[in-house]
Amino acid sequence: MAAVTFDAVRKVYDNGRVAVAGASFEIASGELVVLVGPSGCGKSTLLRMIAGLEAISAGELSIAGRRVNDVAPRDRDIAMVFQSYALYPHMTVAENLSFGLRLAGAPRAEIDRRVADAARVLGLDALLARRPAELSGGQRQRVALGRALVRQPKVFLLDEPLSNLDAKLRAATRVEIARLHRQVGATMVYVTHDQVEAMTLGHRIVVMSDGVIQQIDTPLNLYARPANVFVAEFLGSPGMNLLRGQVDPDGTALVLDDGSRFVLGDAVPATAGERLVVGVRPEDLRLQALDGDASIEAVLDLAEPVGNETFLNLRFAGQALIARVPPGEVAAAGSALRLSYAPSRLHFFDAAGGGRRG
């Protein structure tokens, strides 16, 4: 087990592309941290720098207190699992699991013990004699995880390991990875573009956009207090609704560009006349009003019942809003609906920089 420390780590590719613009944070020993962000945001580059597969352009990277900028990948004591399983097709599961240890000249008894341990943890005992072609996608991914596990590395690096699996298998394997992490207590760094995967797996999540770390926190804190509009929209399915407008002269409502008013309550962290972005989570827009609620009238574009809940796609002041409501009968498309919300549940962001207010 080991901590991983980034100190102003930068990566500029030869073509001038700044993939990581100065990352500074620490992954604690035994922690499972998820790096998440849209495609191209630099998360794989950050992971590959830990692995030693990409040179670090500036700054310092340490594993277990040792600077590793110039340490070769094989000497970093890390194991990496990719989305392509890259198993040896002609070898059995047992041989795939033991290959790295055999190559390193580990004693036979030690190899057998570690392979048996990994097989037990991952439920592969009954599959040890099979070849990869005789396994399902989920089983192959478990073998790939097992191959990393037998090496007992200081740090596990996982690069979108579930993206080749179908939705059901992805959810099951996600639970397995979380369980595996609890059992072995290893430091794990997990890259995904899927915010649901990030929210369910990570102790802490590092949200990236365009090479820049936007926020690092626990899943619940990120959801409750996103640091900026990017994080607000990125996390949650669907993400936060954002309304742009100008605070009215008495400072208690947002006036949208078409003149519609959106009540903000009396604790608005902005001055009258200022431009502001106001966020409201889909589950905070309700069809039933409670004491102290404000409300808007919106037009229903489309209701999407998904069984346990219904998503209402609405139009308000010329822009799209989504409300997440309990299942039940809803009005026909085109109807006007009154949506209530508690002003205390609103989020406020700078119109210019997008940073959180209050």
Q: Is 308 in the site for ligand ADP (CB under 6 A)?
A: no
CB nearer to ligand ADP: pick between 39 and 288: 39
Longest dimension (CA), the chain: 79
CA distances 288 to 236, 280, 331, Å, are 22, 16, 14
- For the chain, the residue count is 358
CB nearer to ligand ADP: pick between 19 and 150: 19
Binding mask 105-124 for ligand ADP (x = CB under 6 A): --------------------
Torsion of CA 312, 219, 290, 242, to 10 degrees: -50
How many CB atoms are located within 10 Å of the residue 113 CB?
Answer: 13
Q: Is 195 in the site for ligand ADP (CB under 6 A)?
A: no
Residue listed under structure tokens 């990017």: 230
70 CB-contact burial (10 Å; exposed 0-12 / middle 13-18 / buried 19+)? exposed
Structure token pair of residue 224: 């409750």
Among positions 21-80, residues that touch ligand ADP (CB under 6 A) are 37, 39-45
Cβ proximity of 36 and 192 under 8 Å: yes
Which one among 17, 67, 120, 275 touches ligand ADP, defined by CB under 6 A? Answer: 17
- To the nearest whole angstrom, how small is the minimum distance from the Cβ of residue 11 to ligand ADP? 8
CB nearer to ligand ADP: pick between 14 and 250: 14
Strands 356-357 and 347-350: antiparallel
CB nearer to ligand ADP: pick between 198 and 323: 198
CB-nearest residue to ligand ADP: 44
Structure token pair of residue 59: 């700054």
Which one among 4, 19, 199, 296 touches ligand ADP, defined by CB under 6 A? Answer: 19
Q: How many residues line the site for ligand ADP (CB under 6 A)?
A: 12
Q: Is 13 in the site for ligand ADP (CB under 6 A)?
A: yes
Q: Interface residues with ligand ADP (CB under 6 A)?
A: 13, 15, 17, 19, 37, 39-45
